[in-house]
Amino acid sequence: MLTMYDARTNLAREVAHEVRSHFPQQTLEQTVPRSVRVSEAPSFGRTVISHDPHSSGAVAYMAVAKEIAERGRRQEEESGEA
């Protein structure tokens, strides 16, 4: 999972490309952007989802969870466990 991702920078795009080329099966499509809300949530003793559920970071982490769940569902179907 690529976190603190800023698609505006060449470096972030290059790093994402390299990671995905070396670990294509392991790297999620969803990225998590750099976000003040993600950074400040722990200081309030909260997750970003409970701190500001509509922030870009919270929305991205929810999408990450959905992507992981979908991958798990597909693996179960492929192995005949579903």
Amino acid (1-letter code) at residue 9: T
Domain residue limits at 62:
2-79
pLDDT higher than threshold 90 for residue 82: no
Find out whether 34 and 4 touch, Cβ atoms under 8 Å.
yes
Give the separation between CA 12 and CA 58, rounded to whole angstroms: 20
Average pLDDT over residues 6-11: 96
**pLDDT value, residue 80:** 83
> What total number of domains does the chain contain?
1
- Assess whether pLDDT exceeds 90 at residue 37: yes
Whole-structure pTM value? 0.87
**Helix, strand, coil percentages, rounded to 5, for the chain:** 60, 10, 30
pLDDT of res. 63: 98
Rg (C-alpha) for the chain, rounded Å, is 15
Task: Determine which helix (DSSP H) or strand (DSSP E) holds 4, and give its type and residue range.
Answer: strand 2-5
Q: What is the mean pLDDT of residues 69-78?
A: 94
In this structure, how many other beta carbons lie within 10 angstroms of the beta carbon of residue 1? 16
